[in-house]
Amino acid sequence: MVQSLSVVISGGNLRDHASASLVLVFARQVLYVLLLTWAAFLAVPSLYTPAGVAPTISAKARSPNSAQLESGPPIVVLPAHLIPGNLAQAVHALVGICIVLFWRLSWSNPGRITPTNLAARLRSYPFDNYFYCSGVACLQCPPMPGAKAGLTDAGGHRLKPARSKHCRACNLCVHRFDHHCIWINNCVGGNNIGQFLLFLLANTGLCIAAAAHSAWSLSALVQHMNLWSMWIVDGSDNNNPVPIVWHGIVRFIFRENPSMTTMLAIASAMILFTAGMLIYHLYLIATNVTTWEHDRFPSRKENPAYLDRFPGRYSFYDGGGFGANFRDALVTNEYATPAILRKWR
């Protein structure tokens, strides 16, 4: 059952996964969907009290002489008229966008190389004779019937186009292979790198909106209940009242509203991850380098002879400008842009 559900969620690219990997794939994707559902649920205005109804707190907590936040009935989160409605709408909209992009990416074609498009893919990029050498065949893909000059080796195995790589998880060769994403359980390649950037952008926006919504709501709660002016007993034998300090307020709102507080912590941490991934991939596209190439890119100290072949450029496929590199990465076509081809000649 886990395998069938994972295939449905991830677009069916699970032919060669072991059972343990299937469980991990399914768990990651379910976790992502649950986090989105949780974010949308916390931003539903109907969860809060009607406008004009104030949160309740015990009489003890209102008295400076016997204020005690550790006792008394639980408080309501926040009156509805104090909820940041625009942020809640943004959270709901971004959750929907993330789910749509998640499913589209899971079922998208990353740039699958087939016998019908092999000739065009072989002309897409020149070989740099370092990462990608001409005449190298993919032994993992099923051989084509009969050897074809310029397309296969003597055994009928398809030649590998430049900037392509065989993904063992998906069991296929991908044009302009970037990486295999474990969250969508699909490759990111030349055909879906643009959708992947939108996916990262939407998730970054969602994390920012969720963190802002949580912080705004909790801050409004503190101000609405006037927590900063409250006093609490010091816990001594005399029960002396003392002014409340900031960590006491943090413990109080976490005890009374753990979901919103946890969402604030998770969303704030995820901003660093999603924004970092987005900036990293924008940097790679700006220099026309894939993740796979960047991880294996030699430094000038390690291989100066290779890098000196393209002075003033970051990589062999760097077109020399952001515009040319972004067009090459994001505009889906069978051939490289003329500006980049001129650089290669």
Residues carrying an active site annotation: 181
**What Cα–Cα distance (Å) separates residue 169 from each residue in 12, 23, 143, 148, 287?**
11, 14, 19, 28, 27
CB 105 within 8 A of CB 186: yes
* Residues 260, 266: Cα–Cα separation, whole Å: 10
CB 61 within 8 A of CB 68: yes
CB 185 within 8 A of CB 106: yes
CB 343 within 8 A of CB 319: yes
Phi and psi at residue 241, in whole multiples of 5°?
A: -75, 135
Tokens 């092999």, residue located: 118
* Residues 315, 312: Cα–Cα separation, whole Å: 9
CB 118 within 8 A of CB 142: no
